[in-house]
Amino acid sequence: MGRIDGKNVIVTGGARGMGAAFTRRLVAEGAHVVITDVLVDEGVTLAAELGDAATFLPLDVTDESAWNDVIAYTEQVFGPVSGLVNNAGIVHVDPIEKLSEADFRKVIDVNQVGVFLGMKAVLGSMRRAGGGSIVNISSIGGIIAFSNILGYTASKWAVRGMTKTAAQEFAADDIRVNSVHPGVVATEMTADSTRSQGMSGNQPMRRAGRPEELANLVLFLISDESSFSTGSEFVADGGYTSL
């Protein structure tokens, strides 16, 4: 038996990088997963690789009506939603004096508003499921600050606080909400980043994390093994924030 047999999980930004690792790990442990992303080709390919336990649906996380469509689709194909991984995110690099309002708002819309819309949309379905677990992917940028990524830092701090508020509101329905705070993880987003390479070289564990390592943490939080954890931050950063 898998650790999450019978759970129906939505993963945003699930087509590649950490999201794809989350999807593979959840399916391997018995879940049905709806992969959502704006990367259609990658999402379709991953769903085909994983077989009947996974399906793909395009989703712009800033579109509330599209979120409602995803919930309806998940219930039709697999049943009520018992897990949500809010993973979709973007970053824009610029010092504050050069950062445009449009670029700042775009990051906030995806990273922060998208998480709000996901938590709001899934609530009714999780009630029908008898409870569930929401995992919001923040960052160590939601615990400490970094220069030149104001929108990203602001959004990831916001996700941390939103997680705590939702945990308080949803607990009566047996719905847990936790945030995950990765450090540098080896994905397409960080592959060409000199800053990311420098960060991992200066932390106690002198390497980038692997997507599979974060997937193990997400699996734990989606599973009933974390049944007394809600409103909490789970940090996986090779010791970076210990310095």
152 is catalytic: yes
Residues 6+ apart with CB under 8 A from 41: none
Say which of 67, 78, 116, 152 is annotated catalytic: 152
Residues 6+ apart with CB under 8 A from 238: 183, 184, 200, 203, 204, 205, 206, 207, 208, 209
DSSP 185: B
CA–CA separation, 170 vs 173, rounded Å? 6
Q: CB-side exposure of 159: number of CA atoms within 13 Å?
A: 38
Instruction: Output 145-151 pairs: Cβ under 8 A, ≥24 positions apart.
Output: 147/95, 148/93, 148/94, 148/95, 149/91, 149/92, 149/93, 150/96, 150/99, 150/104, 151/91, 151/92, 151/99, 151/103, 151/104, 151/105, 151/106, 151/107, 151/108, 151/111
CA–CA separation, 220 vs 49, rounded Å? 23
CA–CA separation, 187 vs 16, rounded Å? 8
- List, by residue number, the catalytic residues: 152
